[in-house]
Amino acid sequence: MSTITVKVPDIGDFDAVEIIEVLVAEGDTVAVEDGLVSLESDKATMDVPSTAAGKITKLLVKVGDKVAQGDAVAEIEAEDAGDDAPDEPAEDSASAEADDATKTTDEQAAADEPEATAEEAADDDADGEPEEIQVTVPDIGDFDAVEIIEVLVAEGDSVEVEQGLVTLESDKATMDVPSTVAGTVVSLAVKTGDSVAQGDLVATVRTTGKTAPKPEKPAGDDKPAAKPAESKPPEKTESSAKPAPKPEPAKPADDTTRSKVPAHASPAVRKFARELGVSLAGVHGSGPKGRILKEDVQQHVKQVMQQGPSGGGASTVAAGSGLPAQPAVDFSKFGEIETIELARIRKLSSKHLHKSWLLIPHVTQFNDADVTDLEAFRQAEKDKHAAKLTMLPFLIKAVCHAIDKHPEFASSLTPDGESLVMKKYRHIGFAADTPNGLVVPVVKDVDRKGIVQIAAETAELAKKARDGKLGPGDMQGAVFSISSLGGIGGTAFTPIVNSPEVAILGVSRNEVKPVWNGSEFVPRTILPLSLSYDHRVIDGAAAARFVVYLSDLLSDYRRVVL
Ligand code: COA
């Protein structure tokens, strides 16, 4: 075991580059080439990779620090020093590789002998004569065969000095190749997907006279003239990348990319997004200066999974519904916000409710049931049995009888909408409010059970629901559902039919009210009922008959045993 100090490698013509992200923590185990920190200059974002496999013993930098080539980033207790010399072997090997890479690319650049470099243009251009300048890939550090991920201009476009022509991306860095002169793009030598190295021709630009400021070069350094770090950042906004009148239309691929601001993200995040197949163009960046973080990509994926692939914008359509998707609104513009992920049950129930609400043409029929006698009986009996008698088991049993009389309330439409499936079993669901959201447990074979047994089962199912212990079998097979909010309050509501059922009974809080009996007002206990139904299956008259019949049963519960 030996301690390796990982240093900032040759990062091209950049110094005092800011650390925008620290990708590891002390104690983390890393492999060779794992990114340790992300750096960002005006023109490039790049990761500093680990030169050794092992455990991070010390982080020597933090977010916001400025670093240059050779600055120490972290100390690593190397798993196996291998052939490395004990004294900072990683640095030595990295430097050696960097030198080799520079030499190779410099030699290559020299061999290519471009017709005119920016410096030559700067000299030659003093007389203002237009000239064709070849813009080549500048010194991009220890990178070769770097992919072009975006072409930012088209042939015929006017460009400014320092305006980005293409964006390159390696697995460690993204960077723009800026134009070294102001002028018109005469020809593009590359396209998206091409791999380039230092010195490769990117575009030919006919000058208008302005050239990039002459870089200060150390003696003996004959790197190409374009020095991104020594000049102002190109402003890749709509206006700076605007297409000038062109002799020919731009290629479609370029058209789709060149007019928008490229996503701002570190190479590690770009790689992560690529692995998930996520286009960063649609991801909202929550990092400094709108930079896209790994969490933003994760959040984006979650959002897409929940809303369907088209859920990202107001102009798109929600999958299958034919309705516009909910637009993403940045509420933080208006004040402080907190985003809380929905519980699993709420996610599932909200989808189901939305589907039911969209698929079913709902109508709600209201009625009041006089439950004075039933309530008196219930109060007298409620604590005398194995289970407490609330109104719910009486309602479940009465609904079962009402369905026997009106069997279409226990039916489902076939998916083609051509037939009704009539269900001969009598399983009744009831909505239960739980800390994690709404669930609908089901009491099976209500027609074969007495009130006390139904009371015991609803109490047990409600407890299981609140404890999150309902199994799938506890929530399946209902022919009709009841949603009772009587224990909470309210006068009436319009419940959503629990598709593929065709009706649901909403029950609100009973109240003692004065009722005219023909000769006087008498106090009666009135239970408000709200019957929502699928109008494709149930006519308004049938719904009114059902709810009146049910009210009569509740008014004189002896009818239930007939
Ligand atoms: N009017 C007046 N009081 C009522 C009532 C009504 N319609 N329904 C129930 N109550 C009373 C009960 O009798 C009980 O009072 P008591 O202890 O004095 O007898 C009290 O309210 C609490 O009853 P509760 O514990 O809710 O039992 P329940 O059997 O009536 O209901 C659930 C059980 C599981 C249905 C109920 O707890 C629940 O979760 N309801 C919410 C359903 C929901 O969220 N629906 C909305 C779907 S969109």
- Do 45 and 38 touch, CB atoms closer than 8 A? yes
Ligand 1: distance of its center to the CA of 488 in Å? Answer: 7
- Establish whether 427 is a catalytic residue: no
Which residue from 391, 466, 551 has its CB within 8 A of the most atoms of ligand 1, so it is best to mutate?
391
- Quote the CA–CA distance of 21 and 266 in Å, as a whole number: 8
Q: What is the pLDDT of residue 34?
A: 85
Which residue from 392, 454, 482 has its CB within 8 A of the most atoms of ligand 1, so it is best to mutate?
392
User: Which conformational region is residue 530 in: left (phi greater than 0), alpha (psi within -120 to 50 degrees), or beta?
Assistant: beta
- Quote the CA–CA distance of 415 and 404 in Å, as a whole number: 24
Q: Any alpha helices (H) in 406-475, and if so which ranges? A: 451-466
Residues 6+ apart with CB under 8 A from 379: none
Given the residues 352, 362, 385, 535, select the one marked as catalytic.
535
Per CATH, the number for 267-306 is 4.10.320.10
Write out the residue limits of the CATH 3.30.559.10 domain(s) in the chain: 356-561
- CB-ligand 1 contact for 432 (6 Å cutoff): yes
- Quote the CA–CA distance of 171 and 376 in Å, as a whole number: 77
Q: Tokens 């190397």 appear where?
A: 78
- CB-ligand 1 contact for 485 (6 Å cutoff): yes
CATH topology for the 2-102 domain: OB fold (Dihydrolipoamide Acetyltransferase, E2P) (2.40.50)
Give just the sign of the alpha carbon dihedral 375, 376, 379, 381: negative
Strands 511-516 and 158-159: unpaired
Q: What is the pLDDT along the chain (562 residues), one digit of tens a residue?
A: 789 999 988 877 677 888 888 889 999 999 888 889 888 877 777 888 898 899 999 999 998 899 988 899 999 998 864 444 333 433 333 333 333 333 333 333 333 433 444 444 444 444 467 889 999 988 877 777 888 888 888 899 998 888 889 888 877 777 888 888 889 999 999 998 899 988 899 999 998 755 544 444 333 333 333 333 333 333 333 333 333 333 333 333 333 333 344 567 777 777 788 778 787 877 888 876 677 888 888 888 877 766 544 333 333 334 556 677 778 889 999 999 999 998 888 888 899 999 999 999 999 999 999 999 999 999 999 999 999 999 999 999 999 999 999 999 999 999 999 999 999 999 999 999 998 889 999 999 999 999 999 999 999 999 999 998 999 899 999 999 999 999 999 999 999 999 999 999 999 999 999 999 999 999 999 999 999 999 999 999 999 999 999 999 999 999 998 7
- CB-ligand 1 contact for 484 (6 Å cutoff): yes
Write out the residue limits of the CATH 4.10.320.10 domain(s) in the chain: 267-306
- Quote the CA–CA distance of 326 and 321 in Å, as a whole number: 12
- Nearest by Cα to 201 from 248, 165, 237, 149: 165
- Do 550 and 374 touch, CB atoms closer than 8 A? no
Write out the residue limits of the CATH 2.40.50.100 domain(s) in the chain: 2-102, 105-251
Instruction: Give residue 455's Cα distance to chain centre.
Output: 44
Which residue from 390, 460, 488 has its CB within 8 A of the most atoms of ligand 1, so it is best to mutate?
390
- Do 525 and 510 touch, CB atoms closer than 8 A? yes
pTM: 0.52
Q: Which CATH architecture has domain 356-561?
A: 2-Layer Sandwich (3.30)
- Nearest by Cα to 369 from 178, 560, 108, 156: 560
Q: Tokens 């723009």 appear where?
A: 176
- CB-ligand 1 contact for 510 (6 Å cutoff): yes
Specify the residue with its C-alpha closest to ligand 1, atom 11. 487
- CB-ligand 1 contact for 392 (6 Å cutoff): yes
- CB-ligand 1 contact for 507 (6 Å cutoff): yes
Per CATH, the number for 105-251 is 2.40.50.100
Q: What is the pLDDT of residue 248?
A: 33
